[in-house]
Structure 1
Amino acid sequence: MLALLLSTALFAYTPQRNLRLKAMPTASSNTAAMLIQKITDHLNSQNSEYSLSAKALEMGIDGFLKLAATGEVSADKPLTIIDFSLPSSKKRLWTIDPTSGKILHHTWVAHGRNSGGLMAEKFSNTSSSYMSSLGFYRTAETYSGKHGYSLRLDGIEKGVNDRARERAIVIHGAEYANPEFIKKYGRLGRSLGCPALPMSQYEAIIDSIKEDGCLFIYAPNTDYLQASILHNNDRTT
C-alpha cells in the first residue's frame, strides 16, 4: 500500500480542502525515488516512442506525494500525468498505479484551442480564454453533459487552475482527439480548455481516476514553476 510508504513523509498537518492549502509538506526523497524508479521501469518495458519527460514525472510524483500526505487526493487512486512538452500528435497522457508503478493507460489528449496548434504553449486560468491550465487537480464527480460521460475537475493551485470548475474544465471524449484526426491534419483538434480524450478510451480512463484522484498537467513553463506552491515550499496562498 502506498499509504505505508507515505508514512515516511507524514507529519503533523491538518488536511484542508477547497483550495485552502498553506505551506506544503516535503515529500520523502526515498519514497519519491522508489516510486519514480518503479514507473521508469514500466515505461522502459513498453519500448514506446512516446517518452514521458523526466521533469514531468519528477514534479508529478513530488506533488502527488505531498497532496496524498495532506489528504487532498487519494493515495490509492491512479495518478494521471499529462505532458504538454510533447506535441498533440504524440501520446502524452499516462495514468499510473501509485503502488506498483504500472502504466494503466497511455493515450492522446487535446489541449485548448488558444493554447497553441501542435504544441500547447500558452495557459490561462481565466474564463472564456479557451486555454488549458497547468498544475495539479483533484478529480471529482462524473456527469452526463453535452459531451456525454464527463469528469469534473477541481484545480488545487490558487491563481493557476482554481477556476477549473467555474470554467467547466472537464475530462470528456471527443472525435477530434482520435488518432484518425492526426492522420488527416498532423495534430489533434483542440478543445475549449478541456483535456479531451479519444472516444475509444475516455470512459475507461474516467472510471479509473474519478473521485479524489490526482491529475497533473505539465509544461516547461516558467510562470507556472514560479507560481506553484507545490514546488515552492516557502510560498503561501
Structure 2
Amino acid sequence: MLPRSCLSTTLFSLPVLLFSLPLQAASFLAQVASAPPHGVSTLHHQLLQLAPTATPEALRLAAQALSCAEPSAERLAVIDYSLPSTEPRMWVFDLHQHALLFEELVSHGQGSGDAVAEVFSNTPESHQSSIGLFRTMNSYYGRNGYSLRLDGLEANVNNLAFERAIVIHGANYVSEDFIEQTGRLGRSQGCPAVREEITYPLIDSLKENQYVFAYYPDEEWLATSAYLRCTTEHPQLAQR
C-alpha cells in the first residue's frame, strides 16, 4: 500500500493527467492538420490557409515566385487578374505573423479589358496591366494621391513598370457603388488601383522591399518566367 502522502499526490495528479491528455491529443491533431500535404510547399500551404477563397493556382505560383525571389519576405500581395473586377481579387499577407491583412477589390487597365482583364503588356502608353512579380519601392504623393511605386522584376513582362508609372493608388472608381452602377469597376491606365478608404493602410503595409505577384494564366509567361521555375541552383533572382 502506498503511503498516505504518495496516495494523496497520486489521486490529485490523476484528474490533471486525464484532463491534459485530450489537450495533448488536440494539439497533436492541430499540428497534423496544419502540416502541408505532400507536394505542397510550406508557403503555398500558408497562403491557402489564410485565403481559402483565392484561386489555388494563383497562390501556388505566388509562393513559387516569392520563394525564388526572397524566401524570408515579410509581406506579399497577390492579385488574381483571372477573376472579374467585381470580385475581391487582391490579398495582402503578413507572412511572419501568419495573417491576412486585406482582401480587396482592385482595378485593371483600360487596355486590358472591360469587366474581365484579358490582355497584358509591358508597353508604355498601352494602358494595360502587367503580370508577374514586382518588388515594392517607396510611397509618395502624386496626381493620384498617396501611391506606391512598383519595380517590375521580370524582363519583357513587367520590368518597365517604373518607367510606365505603374503604381498602387486609391481611386473613387474602385467601389461597390461603382459596380452597382456600371456592372464592373472603373479602369486605370494600367495601375492596380484600390478603394480610397484603404489606400493608406494597404500601401503602408506593402511599401519598401515587399512583394506583389499579379497572376493571369498567360501561356507564354507561364512557360518562360524564371521566377516560376526557380531551382536551388539559381535562388534569389530578385537581388539586382
Smaller-chain TM-score bracket: 0.7 to 0.9
Rounded to whole Å, the distance in 2 between the matches of 1:81 and 1:184 is 27
After superposition, residues 56-205 of structure 1 pair within 5 angstroms as: 56-69=58-71, 75-205=72-202
The aligned amino acid for 2:159 is D
Residues 1:158 and 1:32: Cα distance change in structure 2 (over 3 Å):
farther
How far the C-alpha of 1:219 sits from its partner, in A, is: 0.6
Q: Deviations over 1:26-63 (max 9, x none)?
A: xxx9896222223322334xxxxxx3111100000111
Stretches of 4+ aligned residues off by more than 6 angstroms: 29-32
Rounded to whole Å, the distance in 2 between the matches of 1:155 and 1:125 is 9
SS of residue paired to 1:200? helix
Percent of counterpart pairs with the same letter? 39
Give the structure with the larger helix fraction: 2
Choose 176-185 or 124-133, whichever is displaced more: 176-185
Rounded to whole Å, the distance in 1 between the matches of 2:177 and 2:105 is 11
Q: Which residue of 2 aligns with 1:52?
A: 54
Rounded to whole Å, the distance in 2 between the matches of 1:32 and 1:103 is 19
Rounded to whole Å, the distance in 2 between the matches of 1:223 and 1:177 is 30
The structure with the largest alpha-carbon Rg is 2
Rounded to whole Å, the distance in 2 between the matches of 1:41 and 1:60 is 14
Kept after mapping to 1: 8 A contact 2:134/2:211 = yes
SS of residue paired to 1:177? coil
Rounded to whole Å, the distance in 2 between the matches of 1:123 and 1:36 is 25
Indicate which of 33, 41, 46 corresponds to 1:38.
46
Structure 2-normalised TM-score? 0.77
Rounded to whole Å, the distance in 2 between the matches of 1:230 and 1:32 is 17
Kept after mapping to 1: 8 A contact 2:127/2:190 = yes
Q: Deviations over 1:84-112 (max 9, x none)?
A: 11100000000011134321101000000
Which 5+ residue runs of structure 2 have no aligned equivalent?
1-36
Which 5+ residue runs of structure 1 have no aligned equivalent?
1-28, 45-50, 70-74
Kept after mapping to 1: 8 A contact 2:121/2:128 = yes
SS of residue paired to 1:176? coil
1:230 aligns with 2:238: no
What's the RMSD between the two structures over aligned residues?
Answer: 2.1
The aligned amino acid for 2:64 is D
Kept after mapping to 2: 8 A contact 1:131/1:193 = yes
The alignment covers a number of residue pairs equal to 197
Rounded to whole Å, the distance in 2 between the matches of 1:76 and 1:233 is 16
Kept after mapping to 1: 8 A contact 2:68/2:230 = no
Indicate which of 218, 221, 224 corresponds to 2:218.
221
Kept after mapping to 2: 8 A contact 1:152/1:169 = yes
Residues 1:158 and 1:225: Cα distance change in structure 2 (over 3 Å):
same
Kept after mapping to 2: 8 A contact 1:39/1:102 = no
Structure 1-normalised TM-score? 0.78
